[in-house]
Structure 1
Amino acid sequence: MTRMKTIALAISTIGLLGATAPVFAGEVDELKAALKKLTERLEQLETQQKAQATTVAQVAAKAAAPAPVPANVVTAGDLPGSFKVPGTDTSLKIYGYVQADATYDLKGTFSDRESNDWASFISAQPLDKTADGKRKNQLYATARTSRIGLETSTPTESGKLHTKIEADFNAPNDYSGETLTNSQLFRLRHAYGELGNFLVGQTWSNFADLGSYVDSVDYNGPGTVPFVRQAQVRYTLPLNAGTKLALSVENPQAVAQNSPATTSFDRTPDFVANLTTTGNWGHFSVRGVAQQYRNDAHTKQGWGLGAGGSLKFGQDTLVAQINGGNGIGRYTLNSVGQRAVDDGNEIHLWKAVGGHIGYTHVWSPTVRSNLIGAYTKFSGDNYLEGLTDVNKKITEAFVNTFWTVAKNTDVGLEYAYGKRTTFAGDDGTQSRINATVRYNLF
C-alpha cells in the first residue's frame, strides 16, 4: 500500500468518525485540515523525487554516451593500418617500401640494363656463344623497385567501396638511367575499384594465383608464373566458406610474330575463370583462359590452363604451380616471346607447359630460407620447331635466405641459376647472386 493510499484511508476513517461522533466534530475538522496539508506536502516531495530521478538518469546517459568527435580529429579507419580522412567516412591506408637491389652476374647477362629487364628473364638470357653470354662478373644496383600505394574504403548504400592505386619506378629508361643520374620512370602497377562482387580497373590477371608464387629475392622469380597486370572487369561469386569463383573479361594483347604485310589487332577480350578454395591447411586454385590471335588475314584461338596451391607444415610452407596451353603466351612469363607465328598462310601457336615448386623453411621469427625449382618446355608443329633460334626448354633454380634485421627492415641474399636451350641445341646460362634490402614504410 502506497503512502497516498494510506493517507486516503486515514481521511476516510476520520470522516466516518465525524459522522458517528459529532461531539468531536471540531477536532475532526482540524485533523482533516492537517492531513490535507500533509497530503499536499507529500505530493510535492514525490514530484521533486521524480524530477531528481529523471535528472540523474539524464546525467548518467550523457556520461555514458561518447563525446562527439571534432571534424578535424584523425581516428582509426576500417582497413588495417588505416585512418579516417577528417570530415569524411572514408578510410585511407598508405603503404609501400624503399628497396635497394643488387645483382652480380658470374656468367652471362645483357650489357644494357636500362632498356632491358634487369631481373632474371631466362627466356631471353644471352646465348653462351654470344658476346653478352661470354661476359663475366658484372655488377648492377638499383632502387627502382621502391613502391608506394594507396587504399581506401568507403561505406555506400551498395556496400563498401574499396579502391587501390599503386606504382613503382621499375620502367625501362634509356635516357636518364645509369648513364646520367639514375633517374627512373614512375609506372602504374594497380589502379582499380571494388564494389560488391565487382572489380573494375587494372590489377593482376584473374589467371594469376598469387598464393602459389615463390618467395624469391629476384624481382621476377621463376618464369613459370603469369606476370601480367591488365585492365579487366571481374565478378567474384562466393560459393561457400573459403571457396569462390571469379570470372573476368580482360584486355587482350595476342600478337602473332612474323606477320608479313599484316597488322595484328584485338577484337575480343580474353576470358578468364578462376576457382579457388582456402583453409587453415593452405589453398588450391584451378584456372582457365581463352584468347584470340588475330591479324588482317588470319585468326587462331588460343587457350591456357593452370593449377596451383600451397600447403602449410607448421611454420613452413610448400607452394607449387603448373600452367600450360596452346598459345598461352603472356599468361606464363617464359612464353611471352613464344606465343604465335604467322608464316603468311596461317597462324601457328606455340604449346608451352611450365611449373615450379618452392619450399619455405622458417628458422626463427626473423629468419627464413627458400629452395625453388622450375621447368618450362615448348613444342609446336614442324614449322615452329624448324625455327632453331627459339627456346625448347628452360630450367631455373633459386636458394635464398631472408633476415628481418630490425623493425620494418628485411635483408635477402640469393643464388639464382637459369638455363635455356634452343631447338638448335644452343644454351644461354645465368649464374647470379642477388641481394636486396627493404625498408617498409610502416
Structure 2
Amino acid sequence: MQNNRYVRHSISALALAIAGQAGAFELNAGDYQAELYGYARFNASYDIDEDIGISTRAGAFSAINTGADEDNEATGYFSADAVQTRLGVRASSPEGVKVVLEGDFRPGTLRLRHGYGEYNGVLLGQTWSNFNSFVGNTKVLDFDGLAGNAGLQGRVAQARYTTGAFSVSAEEPITNFLEGAGATVGGKQGLPTLTARFEQAAGGLSYSAAALVQEVGYDTGTVDDSIVGYAAFAAAKMALGESLTIQGSVSYTDGANSYLYRSGENFGAEDAYIRGGDLESIAGYGGTVGVGLDLGAGSSINVGYGLVTVDWDDAEADGAAVADKSETNQNLMANYLWSPVKNVMMGVEYGFFKRENVNGDEGDANRILFAGQYTF
C-alpha cells in the first residue's frame, strides 16, 4: 500500500508541476523531491569556404582540408539540426541521496550524458570528468567549443569524493597510442585514471586547478609495455566591474593527450607511440583566453580564442607515420547572445578554425552559426 500511495502522490505532484512555475517540472511526494528539466535546441550553420560542420553543427578540425586539398573545398554550405535537445531528471531522498539521469540526441539517437548518484560527497556513476573545469570557458554557441579548454570537457564513469573545494576521483581510462604505420590503437586499461581538483571562488575571481595520472599500456600476449602519463591545468575567471569578464586556461600533458581538449584530429591526440616494442610518451600544451561583455537587457557579446599544440618531434625522428597528424589546432569564436524573454536564448556566432599538420600542410575555415534554445 505504501508503494501505491507513493505512485499516486507522484502522479498528482507531476500534474501540479506542469501547471506550475517555469524552469523545471517539479515532482514532490512527501520528503522525496524530483524535477524534470531540459531544453529544445535548434542549431544552423553556414560554412563560408569549407564544409566542416558535424552534429549540433559544431565545427570539426578533422574536416578541414590541408595542403593542396584546400583548393578543392566546398563553399557556401548550409545545414541545421536539433540533436542537441536535452532531457533530464534530478531527484533527492529524505536521507540526502541525490540521483541525476540526463540524455540528449547527439549525433541523432538518444545517448546517456549523466547517470549518477551522490551521497555525503561520494559520487558513483557517469558525469563530467573530475579533470575538467568550466571556470575559464568563454560562452560560445559551438557545442564542442574552443581548443584548449581546461581538461576533458567530457563525461566518464567514475568514483569521486568531494570535500569542500577539493575533489579526487578514480575514472574510466581514456588512452590510445600509435602502432605500426600510424594506426591509432586503444590503450590497455589496467588501472583507473586518478585525478585531483581544487576549485574555488573569492569575490570577483573564480579559479580551478587539477592534475591527473594514468597508465598507458599494451599487451599482445607476447610483447607488452606501459608508461605513466600525466596532465595538469589551471583556469580562472575575473569579473572586471559588473559587465565585463576575462577568463582563460592553460594545460600541459605528457602521455595523456586524450585529456588535452581538441588536440588531435578533432578531440584528444594520441598519448604515446611504439618504438622497438617500447612505448614513448607524446607531450602537448594548450590554452584559451576570452572576454565577455554584458550589454544589459538579456544580451551579451563574447569573444574567445583557443590553441593546442602536440609535440610530434620525437615520434617523427623515430620514423613514426605522423606527417598527416594535426600538430596545431586553433579556433576563434565571437558571438552575440540575447534573451528576448525568460528561458529563451538566441544567438549568432562567427567561427574561424585553423589546422596545421606535422608536414607543414595547413588549412582554415570560416563559418557562421545560429542557435535558438527554449529551456524548461
For 1:189-208, list aligned pairs within 5 A. Answer: 189-208=113-132
The alpha-carbon deviation at position 319 of structure 1 amounts to: 1.4
The alpha-carbon deviation at position 396 of structure 1 amounts to: 1.3
Equivalent position of 2:285 in the other structure:
353
The alpha-carbon deviation at position 322 of structure 1 amounts to: 1.1
The alpha-carbon deviation at position 131 of structure 1 amounts to: 6.9
Distance 1:132 1:166 in 2: 43
The alpha-carbon deviation at position 395 of structure 1 amounts to: 2.1
For 1:82-161, list aligned pairs within 5 A. Answer: 83-86=26-29, 88-110=30-52, 113=54, 118-122=57-61, 125-127=64-66, 129-130=68-69, 134-156=73-95, 160-161=96-97
- Residues 206-254 of structure 1 deviation map (CA, whole Å, 9 limit, x = unaligned): 011122222001111112122221000111122xxxxx11010000021
TM-score by length of 2: 0.85
- Residues 47-74 of structure 1 deviation map (CA, whole Å, 9 limit, x = unaligned): xxxxxxxxxxxxxxxxxxxxxxx95764
Which among 193, 210, 216 is matched to residue 134 of structure 2? 210
Identify if the C-alpha distance between structure 1 residues 110 and 418 changes in structure 2 by more than 3 Å, giving closer, same or farther.
Answer: closer
In terms of mean alpha carbon deviation, does 359-368 or 325-334 score higher? 325-334
Equivalent position of 2:350 in the other structure:
415
Gaps of 5+ in 1: 1-69, 172-183, 239-243
Identify if the C-alpha distance between structure 1 residues 249 and 132 changes in structure 2 by more than 3 Å, giving closer, same or farther.
Answer: farther
Paired residues of 2:44 and 2:57 also in contact (CA < 8 A): no
Equivalent position of 2:236 in the other structure:
309
Which among 329, 340, 343 is matched to residue 394 of structure 1? 329
The alpha-carbon deviation at position 98 of structure 1 amounts to: 0.5
The alpha-carbon deviation at position 81 of structure 1 amounts to: 5.1
Gaps of 5+ in 2: 1-7
For 1:34-433, list aligned pairs within 5 A. Answer: 74=13, 83-86=26-29, 88-110=30-52, 113=54, 118-122=57-61, 125-127=64-66, 129-130=68-69, 134-156=73-95, 160-171=96-107, 184-225=108-149, 226-238=152-164, 244-258=165-179, 264-296=187-219, 297-313=224-240, 314-335=242-263, 336-384=268-316, 387-433=322-368
Identify if the C-alpha distance between structure 1 residues 251 and 263 changes in structure 2 by more than 3 Å, giving closer, same or farther.
Answer: closer
Runs (4+) of structure 1 exceeding 4 A deviation are: 70-73, 259-263
Distance 1:269 1:263 in 2: 15
Identify if the C-alpha distance between structure 1 residues 379 and 410 changes in structure 2 by more than 3 Å, giving closer, same or farther.
Answer: same
- Residues 391-410 of structure 1 deviation map (CA, whole Å, 9 limit, x = unaligned): 22222111100011223211
Identify if the C-alpha distance between structure 1 residues 82 and 139 changes in structure 2 by more than 3 Å, giving closer, same or farther.
Answer: closer
Paired residues of 1:122 and 1:223 also in contact (CA < 8 A): no
* Bigger radius of gyration among the two: 1
The alpha-carbon deviation at position 349 of structure 1 amounts to: 2.1
Equivalent position of 2:3 in the other structure:
none
Where 2:75 maps in the other structure, the secondary structure is: coil
Question: Which structure shows the higher helix fraction?
Answer: 1
Paired residues of 2:260 and 2:269 also in contact (CA < 8 A): no
Paired residues of 1:228 and 1:331 also in contact (CA < 8 A): no
The alpha-carbon deviation at position 85 of structure 1 amounts to: 2.8
Distance 1:167 1:263 in 2: 26
Paired residues of 1:164 and 1:192 also in contact (CA < 8 A): yes
Where 1:382 maps in the other structure, the secondary structure is: helix
**Count of aligned pairs:** 346
Look up the equivalent residue of 1:208 and give its one-letter code: N
Distance 2:98 2:344 in 1: 28
Distance 1:289 1:124 in 2: 30
Where 1:253 maps in the other structure, the secondary structure is: coil
Identify if the C-alpha distance between structure 1 residues 132 and 344 changes in structure 2 by more than 3 Å, giving closer, same or farther.
Answer: farther
Distance 2:178 2:226 in 1: 13
The alpha-carbon deviation at position 267 of structure 1 amounts to: 0.5
Where 2:83 maps in the other structure, the secondary structure is: coil
Distance 2:344 2:68 in 1: 41
Identify if the C-alpha distance between structure 1 residues 236 and 132 changes in structure 2 by more than 3 Å, giving closer, same or farther.
Answer: farther
Distance 1:346 1:279 in 2: 46
Distance 1:133 1:224 in 2: 29
The alpha-carbon deviation at position 132 of structure 1 amounts to: 9.1
Look up the equivalent residue of 1:278 and give its one-letter code: A
Look up the equivalent residue of 1:306 and give its one-letter code: F
Identify if the C-alpha distance between structure 1 residues 434 and 263 changes in structure 2 by more than 3 Å, giving closer, same or farther.
Answer: closer
Q: CA RMSD in A?
A: 2.5
The alpha-carbon deviation at position 332 of structure 1 amounts to: 2.0
Higher RCO (CA 8 Å, separation ≥ 6 residues): 2
